[in-house]
Amino acid sequence: MPYHTTDFDYSLPPELIAQYPIAERGTSRLLVVKRHGAELEDRSFGDLTRLIPSGDLLVLNSTRVRHARFLGTRPSGAAAEVLLLHPGTDGAWIAIGRPGSAMKPGKRIRLAPDIEVETVVELEEGQREVRFIGATAEEAIQRLGRLPLPPYIERDPDSNDEIRYQTVYAEQEGSVAAPTAGLHFTAEILKELEQLDVRIARLDLEVGPGTFKPVEVEDLTRHHMHPERFEIPEATATAIAEVRERKGSVWAVGTTVVRALESAAAEGGLV
């Protein structure tokens, strides 16, 4: 059965899109959908400790959001923006930016009086290879990089976002967006799950720019999906095989974990 963009149209008033967290981490609402039947339960996220059976496996995405967004100016003084995606070769980085005209090969964007970023070559899908002038990429990220909040958050990041827009278990830096389902977990909830003999495993999927890209085609099969790098540790693959052998369940936290596990399984990387 084909799906079309209009099949998913619905009204979402802008005033209902929260610009700041409206609940403490771990206290948000949780909708429980029964696998068999149409029964729905309105619960709290903290109830997760009573929903996951002992012996089951919880899989988290431990990626950390990189301070990869830069605001700068063109030679004309007009504003420009650069978003780093991932390291390239020989100190270069792969990036996207706007306006696209500001990132033609050879053009520079000034990020600070002593730091510029220059486009080396134009790649596919609007991506560019860029180099930093006046500092290394790591130094520029440390000094000037901002958290790339989602486009529906129409404000600048603040100090609270440094905490709330990272999961409590974030480790490996590399994403341009947070794995948002995991933002609801607290250290206390994870500890309680472990005490209840729920196994916890991790993988790393670097959320890419496709998470910000709107679907611009009516036929969903024609929407281009950007590739994303992921790594599933051997210990996680082993834990998945063991729980499946015992006929237990694997609880994937968020779509990033789901697509990493599904991709690995399709490629024969998981039993």
| Residue ranges per structural domain of the chain | 23-65+155-212+225-266, 69-144
Q: Name the strand (E) or helix (H) holding 188.
A: helix 187-195
- Give per-residue pLDDT as tens, 153-185: 999 999 999 999 999 999 989 999 999 999 999
Burial label for 7, CB within 10 Å (0-12, 13-18, 19+), is exposed
Strands (E), 45-176: 57-61, 63-65, 69-73, 79-87, 93-98, 108-112, 115-122, 128-133, 172-175
Residue 54 has pLDDT above 90, yes or no: yes
What's the pLDDT at 48?
96
C-alpha distances (whole Å) from 228 to each of 149, 175, 225 are 18, 10, 9
C-alpha distances (whole Å) from 197 to each of 26, 190, 193, 203, 235 are 20, 11, 7, 20, 17
Give the span between the Cα atoms of 93 and 70, in whole angstroms: 13
CATH topology of domain 23-65+155-212+225-266: QueA-like (3.40.1780)
CATH topology of domain 69-144: Thrombin, subunit H (2.40.10)
- Give per-residue pLDDT as tens, 193-234: 999 999 999 999 999 888 877 888 899 888 888 888 999 999
Residues in the chain: 271
What's the pLDDT at 53?
96
Give the span between the Cα atoms of 144 and 256, in whole angstroms: 28
Task: Let me know: does 178 contact 172? Beta carbons within 8 Å.
Answer: no
What's the pLDDT at 271?
63
Give the span between the Cα atoms of 129 and 131, in whole angstroms: 7
- Give per-residue pLDDT as tens, 7-40: 999 999 999 999 999 889 999 999 999 877 778 9
- Give per-residue pLDDT as tens, 64-123: 999 999 999 999 999 999 999 999 999 999 999 999 999 999 999 999 999 999 999 999
Give the span between the Cα atoms of 61 and 69, in whole angstroms: 22
- Provide the whole-model pTM: 0.91
What's the pLDDT at 215?
85
